């Protein structure tokens, strides 16, 4: 076996030089001109082939240069239209009516006091013994500013500004306030006055029996009484209740009071009589 392998390698080594000699003989047998022609044709074919391949390269391998996008021109400024003066009439001013003044409602508050009797006296104090300062007539009003004796008498102020006391009796006035809402006023000192009969002087004193008559002077002021009958008398009777002493019998009289009013007439006077006076 080893002999055979050894023989094979000897034959192989002998064959290689033989083959190389044959190859060199083959190459040298070709004429140089022919070789040049063949090389030129081959080169031409190769060139042509390469050129054709280069021309046949698809566009995707080498994309042609695309044209650059042109700049989009910016919009030019549109000139604003010039103002064309036109004579546009202005609307005439329409005056806005001003609201008319709304009158305030008049006060509906009732007066504090309304006289309901034909007349009452405005006195200097709360009682018939106080002098009369004036007279209030039916329908006259006044403001109450004080009271005495649980509103039995009311201190009032007239619209003319006069102040004085009036009776609070419902038969004489309409009193529109609650008594509790009126402050108690200071009561003036009580005057000392009484009937002052003036008996005419006579040579012989009258010694006849006399009787006592009550004079109710509700006029609010003094009464000046002139009596002519069985005897003649002049009395000055202050406001309030006072007695006079007269000879009983019938008398004609003239009485001045109520701010100067004069009353005349006849009357019979006797014991126990009550003679009442008031202003109408």
120 beta partners: 136
Give the tokens for residue 23: 């190859």
Residue 124 structure tokens: 């200097």
Phi-psi region of 149 (alpha: psi -120 to 50; beta: other; left: phi over 0): left
Helix (H, G, I), strand (E, B) or coil at 61: coil
Sign of CA dihedral 57, 60, 63, 67: positive
- Give the pLDDT band of residue 78 (cuts 50, 70, 90): low
CA distance 238 to 279: 14
Q: What is the pLDDT of residue 249?
A: 92
Domains, the chain, with CATH or none: 113-181 (2.30.30.40), 196-277 (2.60.40.3110)
pLDDT at 105 over 70: no
Cα four-point dihedral sign 168, 173, 177, 178: positive
Residue 247, CB-side half-sphere exposure with 13 Å CA sphere:
15
pLDDT at 48 exceeding the cut of 80:
no
Which residue did the predictor score with more confidence, 68 or 44?
68
217, 108 contact by CB (below 8 A): no
Mean pLDDT of the chain: 74
Nearest-angstrom CA–CA distance, 223 and 258: 8
Give the pLDDT band of residue 102 (cuts 50, 70, 90). Answer: low
Whether 273 has a pLDDT exceeding 80, the answer reads: yes
Segment of 96-100, 111-115, 166-170 carrying the highest mean pLDDT: 111-115
Band (11; pLDDT cuts 50, 70, 90): low
Q: Is the pTM of this model over 0.85?
A: no
């Amino acid at each position: 076996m080893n002999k055979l392998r050894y023989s094979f390698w000897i034959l192989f080594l002998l064959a290689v030089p033989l083959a190389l000699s044959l190859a060199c003989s083959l190459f040298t047998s070709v004429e140089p001109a022919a070789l040049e022609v063949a090389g030129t044709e081959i080169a031409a074919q190769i060139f042509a082939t390469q050129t054709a391949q280069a021309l046949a390269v698809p566009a995707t391998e080498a994309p042609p240069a695309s044209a650059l996008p042109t700049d989009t021109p910016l919009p030019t400024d549109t000139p604003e239209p010039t103002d064309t003066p036109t004579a546009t009439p202005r609307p005439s001013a329409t005056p806005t009516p001003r609201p008319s003044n709304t009158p305030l409602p008049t006060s509906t508050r009732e007066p504090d006091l309304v006289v309901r009797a034909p007349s009452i006296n405005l006195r200097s104090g709360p009682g018939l013994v106080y002098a009369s300062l004036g007279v209030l007539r039916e329908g006259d009003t006044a403001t109450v500013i004080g009271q005495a004796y649980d509103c039995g008498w009311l201190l009032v102020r007239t619209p003319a500004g006069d102040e004085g006391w009036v009776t609070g009796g419902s038969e004489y006035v309409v009193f529109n306030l609650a008594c509790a809402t009126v402050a108690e006023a200071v009561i003036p000192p009580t005057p000392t006055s009484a009937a002052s009969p003036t008996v005419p002087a006579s040579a012989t004193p009258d010694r006849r029996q006399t009787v006592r008559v009550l004079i109710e002077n509700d006029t609010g002021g003094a009464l000046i009484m002139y009596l002519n009958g069985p005897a003649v008398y002049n009395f000055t009777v202050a406001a309030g209740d006072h007695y006079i002493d007269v000879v009983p019998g019938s008398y004609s009289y003239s009485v001045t009071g109520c701010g100067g009013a004069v009353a005349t007439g006849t009357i019979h006077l006797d014991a126990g009589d009550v003679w009442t006076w008031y202003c109408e």
